[in-house]
Amino acid sequence: MGQISTKPRLLLFQPPIYDFALFDLFLKPYGLLRLGRWLKESGYEVFFVNGLDYNEAVTNDLLGVPRRYSNGTGKFPRMRTSLPHGVNSERSFGRYGVLTNIMKSKVKEINPDIIFVTSGMTYWYRGVVEAVEICKELFPEIPVLTGGIYANLMPDHCKLSTGADYVVTGNTEESIKIIFKAHSFPVPSGKIPTGPLMLEDVWKDAGVLRLNEGCPFHCDYCASDLLCKNFIKGNAEIAFELLLEMHGRFGTSNFAFYDDALLVNSDKSIKPFLEMVIQKNLQLKFYLPNAVHLQFLDKETASLMERAGFQEIRLGYESSSSDFHADYDDKFPEDDLFRVVETLNNAGFSKNSITAYILGGLPGQPWRDVERSIKTASSTGIRVSLAEYSPVPRTTLWEKSIDICPLPLEKEPLFHNNSFFPMKWEGYTAENMTYLKNMVRELNVNQKNL
């Protein structure tokens, strides 16, 4: 007979997601699996239950196999469900992910000693509630910790709605050490590693990389500096070692960068990283689910990105209005878009592979300003994406959003979802938003056909 392990058993739980629509744009539990690697290296037996597993056979037999793409993106299994009492919308609401009874059986089989449940957007909190309920039903005496974006931005709401034993905020490393000590668990040693736990089911289709952590900017509409208080410069060698680990073990060829400020400190981070990729001639494909800052995209960086295998470039343009940038983000003093598009074009990127994000629906923002920004960006020949504003707790615009919005943003995070268009007013109506969306769609189609 084999020897029974005496190591503490840690369960990492990625919840399902409740939303009106959901597309897997390299949506991975990166932070959760970094903790998993840390605890495994500290002597724990680590298990992972993925509530968003798009390959789960029983779920796909019942709900249908979701459409997936060769770059590792695609759809999740979806089941239509009702909105909570008091929340109304004409749009169909759904639960994305693995069937509840399947998740329950997986959790029960693991028989954990301690459980970590991660969280994403605030308006995805119902999936966190479901995950914690499963754990508490099966193992009522086992400590359950929640962390992640929702937990950090709305800790009181998270504690009340989920019933988790602990809501981990701020310094995750120190918080976990204190909690573990209180429960007489072995206290993990060292620092949380840069790379995540290596799981083939998670990383084979697409890997995730992060060079820099946090963002040096303090945009009024963004929570990046709240979730990571200090901008931490990246290490090109460590990131490249992680890439080689995933590529070597699982054959991973698609990689997405999770950085909020990928091009900052480029001479010591992204540029040497890309030079390593080019030197190894690995034939990889890179993607940018988060946009990059215009002012840091120079000729050398553009050339390296093209040669290394970047399939797309997403630009954080936000607005053509200098007043917008003076008021909300102070990112760049002048319109830099035309220079950047020309630079990318000269480096070998087609205009159809370049997208500029325009931000619309901020508190009190006139729709005509957004229209002008869309037209300006589209005039360069690239694609445009209209990013609809979602109120984010604790950001500079949060209090203004609460004052303007008739919906109970503080009590019900579902209303943070831009599907409700919480900031509509007489200067930016739902009809205006529909017009702008249609305009973007038509402009992009026309660009593609040129």
Pair (120, 229) in one structural domain: no
| 23-49: average pLDDT | 97
Q: Which two tokens stand for residue 426?
A: 């007489």
Count of structural domains within the chain: 2
* Residue 193, domain member (yes or no): no
pLDDT at 5: 63
Residue 446, pLDDT score = 86
Determine contact, residues 130/123, Cβ cutoff 8 Å: no
pLDDT tens for 270-307 read 999 999 999 999 999 999 999 999 999 999 999 999 99
Q: Order of strands across the sheet with 254-257?
A: 207-209, 254-257, 285-287
Residue 3 inside a domain? The answer is no
User: Do 78 and 216 lie in a common domain?
Assistant: no
Residue 2 has pLDDT above 50, yes or no: no
> Residue 431 pLDDT > 50, yes or no?
yes
Model confidence band, residue 426 (pLDDT cutoffs 50, 70, 90): very high
Q: What confidence score (pLDDT) does residue 411 get?
A: 96
Residue 143 and residue 18 share a domain: yes
DSSP 94: E
Instruction: Please report how many Cα atoms fall inside a 13 Å half-sphere around the Cα of residue 122, on the Cβ side.
Output: 22
- Residue 418: pLDDT above 50? yes
- Whole-structure pTM value: 0.95
Is 380 strand, coil or helix?
Answer: coil
| Segment 156-169, tens digit of pLDDT | 999 999 999 999 99
CATH number at 159 reads 3.40.50.280
pLDDT of residue 423 exceeding 60, the answer is yes
Q: List the domain range (segments joined by +) for residue 152.
A: 9-182
Please give the mean pLDDT across all residues of the chain.
Answer: 95
pLDDT digits (tens, 9 = 90+) for 334-376: 568 999 999 999 999 999 999 999 999 999 999 999 999 999 9
Q: Does residue 197 fall inside a structural domain?
A: no
Is residue 1 pLDDT above 50, yes or no?
no
CATH code: domain of residue 272: 3.80.30.20
Residue the block writes with tokens 């950001």? 395
172 shares its domain with 219: no
* pLDDT at residue 332, rounded to an integer: 62
239 in any annotated domain: yes
Q: How many CA atoms lie within 13 A of 61 on its CB side?
A: 4
DSSP character string of 264-295? TTGGGTHHHHHHHHHHHT---EEE-SSPBPGG
**Res 312: pLDDT:** 96
Whether 152 is in a domain gets the answer: yes
Q: Is 172 found in the same domain as 109?
A: yes
Residues 156 and 257 in one domain: no
Residue 330: what pLDDT? 76
114 and 239 both lie in a single domain: no
Query: What is the reported pLDDT for 336?
Result: 87
